[in-house]
A and B are shown apart, each in its own frame.
Chain A
Amino acid sequence: MRVFNLRRSFYGVRALSDARFDVEQGTITALIGPNGAGKTTAFNCISGVIPPESGSVHFAGTEITGLTPDQINACGVVRTFQIARGFPTLTVLETLLLHGDDQPGERMLTALFSPGQARQREAELLDRAHAVAKRLKLDHVVVNLTDALSGGQKKLLEIGRALMAQPRMILLDEPVAGVNPTLGGEIAERIQQLNEEDGLTFLIVEHDMDVVAQICDPVIVMAEGRTLMQGSFDDIASDARVQDAYLGKRG
């Protein structure tokens, strides 16, 4: 994925000014930076939730700038949200099924007059949903309402939702924030496993540096709406500019 000169402001405040970075296929790339660096805005622009004012996003050679979220989904790029946004009145299984692609039963007339088609697809998606639930160790809570899940389970379900679309790349917005360290480590392990076994590319916004150091390479640092640098975790941890951005300049 290539992000080039992305720019976006809110009410005159420039949240993103010329952010540019590349994400190589098959990596777990981290996007870090102090609060207000524009990480979430960058995510929103890439995933189509907010259109950028200028700049471009290419994925696997195709331009996806300014497409709607569902079109970007169809290209194989799926995102999760920082605060697990669930559908409180849907069960875990229904949430997973909802994220299955190409369900003809979502067309009103098909649902009414040829439910057979929808049922057939539903059976396929159901297998996929159960497999995803099993991989994420959510298989014992599939009939629960999403509202009844613990914080960590909601985070896992976020990843599960992304997986249901069988994406090539997943954007994770703070996958371990607000989760205890043990569970955070477990979530990180699941991400690593998915990366190794399925070859999924990840772009992760995360503040937990232990997790970033553990699973992410390379790491992209943003500050004040721009890309500051890109490198391995050790490189960026020892870089003076990064320290300045986080801790402020001395003198």
Chain B
Amino acid sequence: MLSWLFSVATFAGIYALLALGINVIWGMGGMINLGMAGFFALGAYASALATTSGGLPIPIGLALAAGLAALAGGLLCRLTLRLRGDYLAIVTLGFSELVRLVAANEIWLTNGSDGISGVPGPWRSELTPFRFNVLSFALVAAAVVVIWALTERLRRAPWGRALRAIRDDDTAAAVAGKPIRRFKIQAFALGAAILGLAGAFYGHYTSYIAPDIFRPLITIYIFLALTAGGTGNTTGAIVGAVAVVLVLEGSRFLEGWTSVLGGVQKAALREVFIGVALIAIMQLRPLGLLPEKSPGPFLKRKSR
């Protein structure tokens, strides 16, 4: 049971990383990215391939995952610079499906729909499963803390202020002398790097990745998490991600009570729960549990 809790907490941490990544791209930068699953997959495959067929150590796999995702993110952003709203949503969604289909069909590289198994985890063979779960949680939690601090500092800095201005009105921001192209590409690449890192963590933790894991549904979950937690709020992204994982995993305990329902219906019930919870949050707190707050001037902080 305790081991299972650490496992859930590890997944919550991975979801939190995803939400932090999306928060940079969408929350702070206002660029919709329905291709989140694609960057998640890219990171997972990059690190998994580097550490299995490549035989490289895990930290290098993580760095490769983040770097490759950042490169893809920067490139995608550069290509879609003039698109916004619905159009950007469709293109990014297409990108994510592209990554998934390549992973499913380029069998020589990715082993197709069978996926890659035996992705190494840190000291997996030396540790008991329980200890491995604890270690994984600690590593993912540390990553969440580092990424939180990194993105929160950027949000408070003049960089974050300019990015929010671009999100509100990019023509006016350009006239204000802000190089919007650089800001957008940087934000997109940074967010994508975080998504890629989350993917790498996922692969090393579960030891198995396959194209089917990276369906667009997970993108929707993360957007729900961020919306519920507070779009543009770094802490809110983590709170929302943890809440979504709690609802997804917590609904297992309903099995005892609902003997009337079959397995498929129970699974469907989870999504109903998430939907209802989101509607309730949006009714009560339209800006999310922790709304975005203006950080004010970038000086030494006196009080939080």
When the two chains form their complex, are residues A119 and B298 in contact, meaning their CB atoms are under 8 A apart? yes
Known contacts A85-B172, A98-B162, A111-B153; A74 and B299 CB within 8 A of each other: no
Bound CA span A87–B222, Å: 27
When the two chains form their complex, are residues B294 and A111 in contact, meaning their CB atoms are under 8 A apart? no
Q: Does A108 contact B (CB under 8 A)?
A: yes
Q: Does B292 contact A (CB under 8 A)?
A: yes
Q: Does B164 contact A (CB under 8 A)?
A: yes
Q: Does B302 contact A (CB under 8 A)?
A: no
Q: Does A118 contact B (CB under 8 A)?
A: yes
Which among A17-25, A65-73, A241-249 touches the partner chain?
A65-73
A119: chain B residues at CB < 8 Å are: 298-300
Which among A89-97, A177-185, A193-201 touches the partner chain?
A89-97
Chain A, 75-122, CB within 8 A of any chain B CB? 78-79, 81, 85-91, 93-95, 97-99, 101, 103, 105-108, 111-112, 115, 118-119, 122
When the two chains form their complex, are residues A118 and B186 in contact, meaning their CB atoms are under 8 A apart? no
Bound CA span A126–B153, Å: 19
Bound CA span A227–B37, Å: 56
- Nearest CB in chain A to that of B298: its residue: A122
Known contacts A105-B298, A115-B157, A126-B297; A68 and B169 CB within 8 A of each other: no
Contact of B176 among A49, A73, A115, A126 (CB under 8 A): A73
Q: Does B168 contact A (CB under 8 A)?
A: yes
A161: chain B residues at CB < 8 Å are: 176
Kindly state the interface size class of chain B when it binds its partner: 20 to 34
When the two chains form their complex, are residues B165 and A87 in contact, meaning their CB atoms are under 8 A apart? yes
B124: chain A residues at CB < 8 Å are: none
CB distance from B25 to the nearest CB of A (A): 14
A29: chain B residues at CB < 8 Å are: none
Bound CA span A93–B153, Å: 19
Q: Does A165 contact B (CB under 8 A)?
A: yes
B172: chain A residues at CB < 8 Å are: 81, 85-87
Q: Does A123 contact B (CB under 8 A)?
A: yes
- Nearest CB in chain B to that of A99: its residue: B176
Known contacts A47-B175, A108-B154, A126-B299; A98 and B165 CB within 8 A of each other: yes
Of A94, A97, A122, the most chain B CB neighbours within 10 A belong to A94
Known contacts A97-B297, A111-B153; A90 and B175 CB within 8 A of each other: no
CB distance from B206 to the nearest CB of A (A): 31
When the two chains form their complex, are residues A108 and B190 in contact, meaning their CB atoms are under 8 A apart? yes
When the two chains form their complex, are residues B153 and A115 in contact, meaning their CB atoms are under 8 A apart? yes
Known contacts A85-B171, A108-B190; A70 and B298 CB within 8 A of each other: no
B171: chain A residues at CB < 8 Å are: 49, 85
- Nearest CB in chain B to that of A81: its residue: B172
Q: Does A215 contact B (CB under 8 A)?
A: no
**29 chain-A/chain-B pairs, Cβ below 8 angstroms:** A47-B175, A68-B174, A69-B177, A70-B174, A70-B178, A79-B175, A85-B172, A89-B167, A89-B168, A93-B296, A93-B297, A94-B296, A97-B161, A98-B165, A99-B176, A99-B177, A105-B157, A105-B158, A108-B190, A111-B157, A111-B159, A111-B160, A112-B150, A112-B153, A115-B157, A143-B296, A145-B294, A161-B176, A165-B176
Query: Which A residues fall within an 8 A CB radius of B?
Result: 47, 49, 68-70, 73-74, 78-79, 81, 85-91, 93-95, 97-99, 101, 103, 105-108, 111-112, 115, 118-119, 122-123, 126, 143, 145, 161, 165
